[in-house]
Amino acid sequence: MIRIITLVGTVFLIGIIWSDLTFDSLGWETLRSGSVIASHDLAQIESYYVRTLAMEGQFPLITIMMLVTVIGALWQTRQDLPRWLKIAGPLLTLPALLVSILKTAPSAKAIAAGGISAADMSAHAHTLLTVHVSLLTVMTIYLAVQLAGFYALRK
């Protein structure tokens, strides 16, 4: 049962990251140069993070699902599973959690708070873009590992 819960949490988080990337990608063209994102694109990014953080403040679904997924991944280390499956959970989910706490949350909060220059907002948006691309990659790999584990253990 814990494996199903972890799988659902992983898929949910991938969906959230994908949703974030639809707005983060507005800064794609200026990412390499580090230049300022166009003001209308910054307004869309800011509006998205204001709404997202407001919803998360009312009911922290993303935080809950992230914790459930990480706890599920850690719990799987106690189950009778192949070693590669036990190692993959903590190896992939714990760094993702740390990056979310140390990079994603502060940048999203800074954007949502407003009152910062376009250059600073662009820098935070670029941080979110790179972090979310990395998190999407890591969580997709973890999803593939989980699905491979289901396939390997089917009877």
pLDDT at residue number 152: 83
Distance in angstroms (rounded) separating the CA atoms of residues 14 and 12: 5
Dihedral sign computed on CA atoms, order 136, 140, 146, 150: positive
CA 20 to chain centre: 8
pLDDT of amino acid 119: 95
Q: How far from chain centre, in Å, is Cα 66?
A: 9
CA 13, 8, 137, 91 dihedral sign is positive
Place of tokens 């009778």: 80
Fold of the CATH domain 2-153: Four Helix Bundle (Hemerythrin (Met), subunit A) (1.20.120)
Domain boundaries, the chain: 2-153
In this structure, the number of other CB atoms found within 10 A of the CB of residue 54 comes to 10
pLDDT, residue 139, reads 96
What is d(CA 74, CA 87) in angstroms, rounded to the nearest whole number?
9
Q: Hey, what are 33's tokens?
A: 């140069």
CA–CA gap between residue 122 and residue 31 (Å, rounded): 9
What are the tokens at 23?
A: 């707005």
Per-block average pLDDT, block size 10, for the chain (155 residues)? 91 96 93 91 96 91 94 92 91 94 95 94 96 97 92 78
